[in-house]
Amino acid sequence: MSITPHIFIKNIRAYFCVSIAHTTCVKKLSKKLQNNLQSLKAALPAEDILSYEFFSKDGVGAAIVYADGMVNKGLIGDLVIRPIASLNLKKQAENSQKDEENNQNDGDRYEVNADLLQKSLLFPEVKEAEKIEDMTKEILDGNALLLVDGIEKGIVVGTKMLPVRAISEPPADVAVKGPREGFVEDFKTNATLVRKRLKSPALRMDVMRVGRRSDTTIALCYLDGICDNRLKDALQKKLQSIDVDVLPDSSYVTALIAPRKHSLFRSVGTTEKPDVFAAKLAEGRVGILVDGSPIALTLPFTLTEDFQSSEDYFVSPFMATLFRVLRLVAVMIALFLPAVYVTTQLFKMQLLPLGLMLTIAKSAREIPFSPSMETFFVLLLFETLKEASIRMPKYVGMSLSVVGALVLGEAAVSAGFLSTPTIIIVALSGICLYTVPNFVETGSVLRWLYLIVAGSLGPFGLTLAGALTLYYLISADSFGMPPLAPFSPLVAHDLKDAVAKYGIRDLDTRPKIYRSKNKTRLRTQGGNRDEN
DSSP 131-184: BHHHHHHHHHTT-EEEEETT-SSEEEE--B----PPP---TTS--SSS------
8 A C-beta contact, residue 65 and residue 49? yes
CA 488-492-493 angle, 5° bins:
125
Q: How far apart are CA 514 and CA 303, in angstroms?
A: 14
The 3-class SS string of 19-76 reads: HHHHHHHHHECCCCHHHHHHHHHHHCCCCCEEEEEEECCCCCEEEEEEECCCECHHHH
Q: Are the beta carbons of 403 and 226 closer than 8 angstroms?
A: no
187 DSSP assignment: H
Residues 6+ apart with CB under 8 A from 242: 210, 253, 256, 257
Q: Give the C-alpha distances (Å, rounded to integers) separating 462 from 347, 429, 483.
A: 12, 17, 22
d(CA 252, CA 291): 12
Cβ(37)–Cβ(51) below 8 Å: yes
| Predicted pLDDT at 403 | 62
CA distance 430 to 401: 13
Please check whether residue 274 is in contact with residue 194, taking contact to mean a CB–CB distance below 8 angstroms.
Answer: yes
The per-residue pLDDT for 190 is: 92
CA 219/CA 289 separation, integer angstroms: 5
Identify residue 116 by its one-letter amino acid code. Answer: L
What residues have CB less than 8 Å from 267, skipping those under 6 apart?
254, 258, 259, 260, 301, 476, 478, 479, 483
Coil vs helix vs strand at 216: strand
What CA–CA distance (Å, rounded) separates 464 from 476?
18
- Helical segments of 167-249, H only: 187-197, 229-240
Name which of 266, 255, 301, 294 is nearest 280 in CA terms.
301
Closest CA to 58 of 23, 28, 85: 85
Q: DSSP secondary-structure letter at 403? A: I
How many residues in the chain? 532
Spatial CA neighbour of 270 closest among 292, 248, 289:
289
Contact 139, 155 (CB under 8 A): no
Which segments in the chain show pLDDT lower than 50?
A: 1-26, 93-100, 103-107, 528-532
Residue 115: count of CB within 10 angstroms of its CB:
9
Please report the pLDDT score of residue 97 as a whole number: 43
121, 356, 435, 518 from 51: Cα distances, Å: 18, 78, 54, 53
From the DSSP assignment, how many helices (H) and strands (E) are in the chain? 18, 10
Query: For 289-342, what is each residue's pLDDT tens digit?
Result: 999 899 999 988 988 888 988 888 888 889 989 999 999 999 999 999 999 888
Which phi-psi region, left, alpha or beta, contains residue 520 (left: φ > 0; alpha: ψ -120 to 50)?
A: beta
C-alpha 162/C-alpha 435 separation (Å) is 37
Is the whole model's pTM more than 0.85, yes or no? no
In order of 64, 168, 310, 477, 506, the CA distances from 177 in angstroms are 49, 15, 9, 34, 22
Q: How far apart are CA 343 and CA 520, in angstroms?
A: 51
Distance CA 77, CA 90 (A): 22
> How far apart (Å, rounded) are the C-alpha atoms in residues 45 and 43?
6
Q: Quick one: pLDDT at residue 92?
A: 53
* Distance, CA of 239 to CA of 233 (rounded, Å): 10
